[in-house]
């Protein structure tokens, strides 16, 4: 059984808030639209999936949180990806929510209920047994890695097509945004693998560039002025 330290969550203005990191789980403007803008559009997933030739596509995420990114991704995948392809979604979470808090958080998004019910039904098994969850006639595999992101990805060997960098803010959770994490990203990526993140912090941009990702700034979502997205263009470094 996996041992972990659960998230310390409080509610502020009807939104889940992480007490440990003094940060929000998603934008107060609209978390659902934020996920679409930052991660789905930021990784160019609609276009990539409509023309997908490979039998599977792998996404890796730092910070599972409320599962909003996962469920939004699944919804899009089932709508537009080839029916014969499988989505592998690997997410690391150091402090998972308990089932009650997850249920309350996902109740904010009724348009995702048909997908979230399956996650909620298997959630406790998922976080305690560290076994992948197969959903929607094997079209989606969810692997939730409980623990520090860098440590968990060091033990991972899947080739990743797209990265969702969605840990708490680098200013409030600096331990996660270290060069070691980006080195693991590079190890698991190939030329053409993409990333997207809500932050535009200079150190994040420099760390990504140092391991072979080209980066570009884009207008951020809501109150955020800028965000980063990019693609791996070089694997010259031995990571």
Asked if 88 and 158 touch (Cβ cutoff 8 Å), the reply is yes
Dist CA 84 CA 210 (whole Å): 36
Distance CA(111)–CA(89), nearest Å, equals 20
The answer to whether residue 236 scores a pLDDT higher than 70 is no
Structural domains of the chain ordered from first start: 9-232 (3.40.50.150)
pTM above 0.85, yes or no: yes
What's the pLDDT at 175?
84
**In the prediction, which pLDDT does 163 show?**
98
Residue 189 is predicted with a pLDDT of: 98
Question: In whole angstroms, what is the distance from residue 72 CA to residue 22 CA?
Answer: 25
Q: What is the mean pLDDT of residues 125-140?
A: 91
Q: In the predicted model, what is the mean pLDDT of the chain?
A: 93
Q: Residue 165: pLDDT above 60?
A: yes
Percent of the chain with pLDDT over 70: 97
At 186-221, the pLDDT tens digits run 999 999 999 999 999 999 999 999 999 999 999 999
Mean pLDDT confidence for 104-117: 96
């Amino acid at each position: 059984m996996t041992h972990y330290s659960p998230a310390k969550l409080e509610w502020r203005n009807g939104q889940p808030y992480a007490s440990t990191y003094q940060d929000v789980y998603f934008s107060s403007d609209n978390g659902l639209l934020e996920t679409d803008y930052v991660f789905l559009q930021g990784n160019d997933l609609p276009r990539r999936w409509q023309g997908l030739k490979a039998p599977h596509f792998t996404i890796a995420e730092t910070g599972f949180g409320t599962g909003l990114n996962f469920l939004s991704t699944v919804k899009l995948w089932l709508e537009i990806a080839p029916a014969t392809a499988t989505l592998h979604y690997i997410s690391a979470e150091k402090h998972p929510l308990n089932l009650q808090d997850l249920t309350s958080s996902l109740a904010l998004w009724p348009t995702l209920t048909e997908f979230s019910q399956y996650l909620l039904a298997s959630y406790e098994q998922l976080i305690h047994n560290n076994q992948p969850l197969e959903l929607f006639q094997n079209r989606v595999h969810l692997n939730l890695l409980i623990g520090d992101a860098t440590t968990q990805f060091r033990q991972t060997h899947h080739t990743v097509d797209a990265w969702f960098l969605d840990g708490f803010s680098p200013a409030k959770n600096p331990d996660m945004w270290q060069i070691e994490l980006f080195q693991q990203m590079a190890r698991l990526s190939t030329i053409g693998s993409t990333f997207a993140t809500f932050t535009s912090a200079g150190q994040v941009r420099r760390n990504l560039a140092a391991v072979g990702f080209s980066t570009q700034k884009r207008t951020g979502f809501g109150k955020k002025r800028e965000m980063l997205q990019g693609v791996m263009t070089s694997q010259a470094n031995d990571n």
